[in-house]
Chain A
């Protein structure tokens, strides 16, 4: 019999991961459940869809909360005195600043807090973990008294000391479900150097190492992308399971294409793709476009990608080591149901 009640869902793009969380949460409304994720956009989607599927309101025992709200208010703040030796002093979150490089943990107020007593973004999770350690496990005790089940969506965003907190949750009596796609790690919660090797796509390796602490559930069926698109995206991450397309629709223009810059306007006229770009100052020939990162979570029939130099290089050589920002490229490609076109000079 398994000695834990945890699950990790490694989901491919388009596998219906968000709906999966909603279904699991609503299945048993008698459990006190927390659903948390890093980005505001995803939190909004989860909250709205929980309310929608729950008949207009979120079930009484279900709470949705941003990852930093969770770290600050439910983990670090209640037991801050164990670390900071003073109660009630930590205030808000310093999202931009970083702790002084040579600050020592022997001076915790200087290490974790800025001059306004706000906690440095990179150190919030560390403060939470330290508070748990120094209080003899009270942080986790309290969470266990509040929640029966915690769902963490977009777990690939978790990095640095977040991962240590995840370890504490996996070892706790709380049922913990971690959901994410290691290939879509576009928004790390912090840029601490801790656990650097598991950053981004490395979360898969981190999860596989914990196979004794959680059941690993690979959801490889994409209801969105056709097989050609799945295969192209999969080739970015050869170590992860291959995606199986459930989309058998044929439109006559299906799969991966490349066009020359001068063909863009006629292509756009003919196929009306959504234009995706790396960032705001990328040249898209004046076309309205969406950043790769922002497009995460969306579905379009066709996309037209203005790639970065390394992405173009990848298109020619298919060498993931030299493809640059793999996660963003993966996200961009897997937005499309039927066709992906790259603008290649």
Chain B
């Protein structure tokens, strides 16, 4: 199992460090926080390959973190000594006795653990050429990877081969399913890995005899006889048609898995990625098996995603799963405690979350937890009407909608406020505002209910003032007059009571809020709403 990763100078990571959960790691984060890069780095350290190819063939200056490149180039141009930047990916394995050969302190943390390292550094054999190259710093715009080498090492400092690694990895990227001919690289790897060596030999043998039989077919014999006469003017040799039986064209290029008789590439994209994920999860191996899944929600309808996530949960026993996602559903289902919120330097976990809150979101996976996790500022409201009013208030005050300022207004049921706040208090950098009715209670009493959360400093609670106005609608009516509200809503009720009855009727609530939201009239907002959007 993988215990930890430390990355230096690789793509978005200048210096990145993250401890892993032994079962599931759900990686979330904004775009460009390095979710895919992290999966790529793990795959690289385990296989020495990137997108199915040897890293040494894929070496490019753009693998280096841009600040590392920039500082290096700037130092050279300023005539300061500049060591050529190195990329290092250190993957720490769980310390077990049989991994002693991979143990050592040759890692960025200098701790004595087993692990593997990918190091991309200047090849000392190219030192003279490199020195000649940098002697004119104006040439240097990027890291000169032509003079670099890739080393694949254990923490013992010794070079390793793929046989030295006691874990296998399957990387499943549903968004880039590429099928040139037959089985693609990932699928091929997954299928091969599911077969016993004996079965693999049988498959290859059966395929070979199939191709050999081709030439024995009556119609092919006739065709070949006809052809035999054809190219006399070019060559004296015989020309016939046959299938290539040389070793180079093995079954992978021509045998295609079929689903319900349909060739794999004609099956829907969603089904394709589901199949790949399930094949990887079904693999039964002695070694530790690492499954890396990129955005399983791609190409999948909601019900199918539900089925897939359940299967991932059921089948990951004894396997370590890394999954990137933009879906709150996936996150809630796999467990909020498995969440890793990525930043450029590391990850943050919600492992301090109370068990009942974790279960709550797992059972009610429809909640938009990921929005709360990702938004720097969010406003939680009790329902769609409140959401519309808060949006309008914000628009009036700031001239644009809250989402344009990165503020997410999330509508949840009032009884789940505390569940969300359990998450919020762990995310110190995020600010969460709650907008709630007083439900006929004193403001102080309602606030007291949230005291433990307010104490954390990143939670604000805005409660409707004056217990006589216990709903949003009564607060709105109070902030405006009967006449104004009648005008806004295009009504002509004679008393505040009647208008309020209209506004709070279940069938009218959202319509009224929408009318207010769209109204060209100016609307006075109740104080607690103004506080929330200030």
Contact = CB atoms under 8 A, between A and B. Distances in A.
A138 B112 contact: yes
Contact of B106 (A74, A88, A117, A146): A88
Contacts of A91: 124
B106 A145 contact: no
B157 A78 contact: yes
Contacts of B100: 142, 145-146
A265 interface: no
A81 interface: yes
B111 to A, nearest CB: 10
Interface in B415-457: none
Contacts of B8: none
Contacts of B108: 87
A133 to B, nearest CB: 14
Nearest to A69: B158
A142 B107 CA distance: 16
A80 interface: yes
A298 to B, nearest CB: 34
Contacts of B101: 146
Interface in A128-144: 135, 138, 142
A80 B112 contact: no
A116 B104 contact: no
Contacts of B103: 78, 142, 145
Given A87-B110, A88-B153, A138 B97 contact: no
B112 A74 contact: no
Kindly state the interface size class of chain A when it binds its partner: 10 to 19
B124 A79 contact: no
A246 to B, nearest CB: 42
A73 B107 contact: no
A152 interface: no
Interface SS, A side = helix
Interface in A73-100: 73-74, 77-82, 87-88, 90-91
A73 B157 contact: yes
Interface in B121-155: 124, 153, 155
B156 A73 contact: yes
Nearest to A90: B157
Nearest to A91: B124
Contacts of A79: 104-105, 112
Contacts of A88: 106, 117, 119, 153, 157
A78 B97 contact: no
B394 to A, nearest CB: 53
Contacts of A145: 97, 100, 103
Contact of B157 (A80, A116, A146): A80
Given A142-B100, A146-B101, A81 B156 contact: no
Contacts of B107: 87
B156 A77 contact: yes
Interface in A88-125: 88, 90-91, 116-117
A223 B107 CA distance: 52
Interface string B466-510: 000000000000000000000000000000000000000000000
Nearest to A138: B112
Contacts of A116: 124
A101 to B, nearest CB: 26
Given A73-B156, A79-B112, A142 B97 contact: no
B83 to A, nearest CB: 12
B124 A78 contact: no
Nearest to A116: B124
A146 B156 CA distance: 12
Contact of A74 (B119, B153, B156): B156
A138 B158 contact: no
A243 B124 CA distance: 54
Contacts of B119: 88
Interface in A30-89: 73-74, 77-82, 87-88
Given A88-B157, A138-B112, A77 B104 contact: yes
Contacts of A138: 105, 112
Contacts of A77: 104, 106, 156-158
A146 to B, nearest CB: 4
Nearest to A117: B124
Interface in B363-391: none
A43 to B, nearest CB: 18
Contacts of A87: 105-108, 110, 157
A174 to B, nearest CB: 12
Nearest to B102: A78
A135 B105 contact: yes
A87 B124 CA distance: 17
Contacts of B117: 88
Contacts of A142: 100, 103-104, 112, 156
Given A78-B104, A88-B106, A135 B157 contact: no
**A-B pairs with lowest CB-CB distance, top 6:** A78-B104, A145-B100, A77-B157, A78-B156, A146-B100, A87-B106
Given A73-B158, A78-B157, A80-B157, 9 more contacts: A73-B156, A74-B156, A77-B104, A78-B106, A78-B158, A79-B112, A80-B105, A88-B117, A142-B100
